[in-house]
Structure 1
Amino acid sequence: MIRTVELHGHRGARGLLPENTLPGFAHALDLGVDAVELDVGLSADGVVVLGHDQLLSAVTLADTAPAWPGDPAFPYVGKAVRDLGLAQLKTLDAGVRRAGDAFAGTQRAMPGTPIPTLAEVCTLVEPSGVELAVELKTDPSWPDADISRFVAAVVEVLHGSGLGARSRLLAFDWRVLACTPREFGRVALVERKTLVPGSRWLAGGPPRDFLAAALAVGATALSPEHALTTPGLVDDAHAAGLPVAVWTVNEPEDMARLAKFGVDAIVTDYPDIAAEVLATAPA
């Protein structure tokens, strides 16, 4: 049966293997995802690296040793990605999740797994034909010049890897979308906290009419959290010409329900489960 709803592996396959790592992406590819979703930051020396949090999180990362003897920045966990160079970031172990975390019970640990660069992920994904959904982790406190520099760095890697045509850039901070080159897909992420009155996340657009605001910044798709996703929202987005990729959907009943709503893609931590559900979802 032809799958009518795309399957996107969230941070690779976060529920199964360490997030935002090469082993996690490889497993997502093996499970037959249509796209791998990942998060990126920019190191102090201008390298695009994988990671969900602007401050290195002790949930997903552990210090091993300083990048060089006597490095005053060590330990690195808890510090900002933007304040550390690639050599420092590469010392971190991204393969073991903190004990007691919800995903630690389902995720197979891979001790010694380093943080990858975006270029390394592109090398892994390029032969597969699978698409990349690259979320740039910024927030409204960032100066516009830093946003532009970050976007340019990501675009350079994707172009250099030959994956420009297979990549889309995602952001909650919609200034990212406004300065993304038009040849890339531009996905407007939304969640409840970014749609409050006075929100600074939408590049000046009004939260009360966020679909129009998304179109105004050049979005080519909408990606709402699943709690916001209703049949009405899906219909309105489609009427505006915006496909809908809903996140993060981990329960089979929610996957089936959202497929019935007519969403275009489901983003999940468990691509294995979603593949089974979507294989039997009515067209």
Structure 2
Amino acid sequence: MNSQPEVIAHRGGRWPETSENTLAAFTLAAEAGVGWMETDVHASSDGVLFAAHDADLSRIAGRPHLIRELSAAELDRLDLVDGGRLPRLGALFDALPHVEWNIDVKSPVSIAAMIRFVRARRVEDRLRLASFSDTTLTRLRRALPGVRTSAGTGETARFAAGALPFLPARGLLRLPPGLDALQVPMRWKRVPVVTADFVDRAHRIGLAVHVWTIDDPADMVELARLGVDGIVTDEVRLAQTTLSSLTGLSAGIPGRKGNSRRR
């Protein structure tokens, strides 16, 4: 094994007395040496992007509203159940200028806001865009040529078909410009997704493999031995310790890039 996987902080990671997807969480991850953050975005009613996994505010803020129903000013004033405030994506980019962002565009209504954000701030080199939706990714790629993206669910399934002996390594996957990573669960309904063949075929066609969300040290070790490029985790410190013990190197070195494997 030549190098260890990148540690990618899932929603900033899990830290004591700190809410997910907040500036405090992302700052702690950055201070721990993590160079890549994972988050999701939703747009306010006036088109401002906020870092949040859920479309609604019930779980994180105890409010019976969708994020898209409230203005940015209203969202700025909300207190989260576990403390802190919902951060604007722009505020995160400003506060942490040396980290990179893997951003899942959760809803079609957020696509236009994401495009405006990237164009206005010229942050193409600081992010990778993700979505389960192939349609969402197609729209983002067309509007933002050159921006890195991961594969959607359908694209990943077409790549997986490459395990069949009569298909090329890429399977049935077309390789659109900007696609640089497959981001997948370790298993799907107890069926292994990430195998030695999966990782090898991805690397042969220039794609990184990132696996989510991995909080078990045994899984981290197995994935590292398979040669994956990134591990998305809530347990940042645990992942760093586990991976460094395998290689003798420190995980999540400041300034390290996210194995983009640009073609």
TM-score where L is the length of structure 2:
0.78
CA RMSD of aligned residues (A): 2.6
Q: Distance in 1 between matches of 2:216 and 2:70?
A: 37
Q: Distance in 1 between matches of 2:223 and 2:15?
A: 20
Q: Distance in 1 between matches of 2:19 and 2:174?
A: 34
Q: Distance in 2 between matches of 1:182 and 1:281?
A: 38
Quickly say closer, same or farther: Cα 1:249–1:208, change in 2 above 3 A. closer
Q: Distance in 2 between matches of 1:278 and 1:155?
A: 35
Q: Distance in 2 between matches of 1:88 and 1:222?
A: 36
Q: 1:137 aligns with which of 70, 84, 106?
A: 106
1:125 correspondence with 2:119? no
Q: Which residue of 2 aligns with 1:89?
A: 75
Q: 1:236 aligns with which of 201, 224, 229?
A: 201
After the TM superposition, list the runs of 4 or more consecutive aligned residues in structure 1 that deviate by more than 4 angstroms.
Answer: 205-208, 210-214
1:9-158 to 2 correspondences below 5 Å:
9-14=9-14, 16=16, 17-58=18-59, 60-62=60-62, 77-94=63-80, 96=82, 111=83, 113-126=84-97, 129-138=98-107, 142=108, 146=109, 150-158=110-118
- What secondary structure does 1:281 align onto? helix
Q: Distance in 2 between matches of 1:18 and 1:31?
A: 17
Q: Which residue of 2 aligns with 1:260?
A: 225
Q: Which residue of 1 aligns with 2:148?
A: 185
Q: Which residue of 2 aligns with 1:175?
A: 135
Q: CA deviation at 1:83?
A: 1.8
- What secondary structure does 2:224 align onto? helix
The letter for the 2-side match of 1:93 is D
The letter for the 1-side match of 2:95 is L
Q: Distance in 2 between matches of 1:259 and 1:33?
A: 17
Q: Do the aligned residues in 2 keep the contact of 1:188 with 1:214 (CA within 8 Å)?
A: no
1:166 correspondence with 2:167? no
Q: Do the aligned residues in 2 keep the contact of 1:40 with 1:136 (CA within 8 Å)?
A: yes
Q: CA deviation at 1:229?
A: 1.8
Q: Do the aligned residues in 1 keep the contact of 2:10 with 2:39 (CA within 8 Å)?
A: yes
Q: Distance in 1 between matches of 2:89 and 2:203?
A: 31
Q: CA deviation at 1:189?
A: 5.0
- What secondary structure does 1:249 align onto? coil
Q: CA deviation at 1:3?
A: 5.6
The percent identity for this pair of structures is 31
Q: Do the aligned residues in 2 keep the contact of 1:165 with 1:183 (CA within 8 Å)?
A: no
Q: CA deviation at 1:81?
A: 1.7
In structure 1, stretches of 5+ residues that fail to align are 63-76, 97-110, 191-201
Q: Do the aligned residues in 1 keep the contact of 2:12 with 2:29 (CA within 8 Å)?
A: yes
In structure 2, stretches of 5+ residues that fail to align are 163-169, 188-192, 249-263
TM-score where L is the length of structure 1:
0.73
Q: Distance in 1 between matches of 2:10 and 2:35?
A: 11
Q: Which residue of 1 aligns with 2:165?
A: none
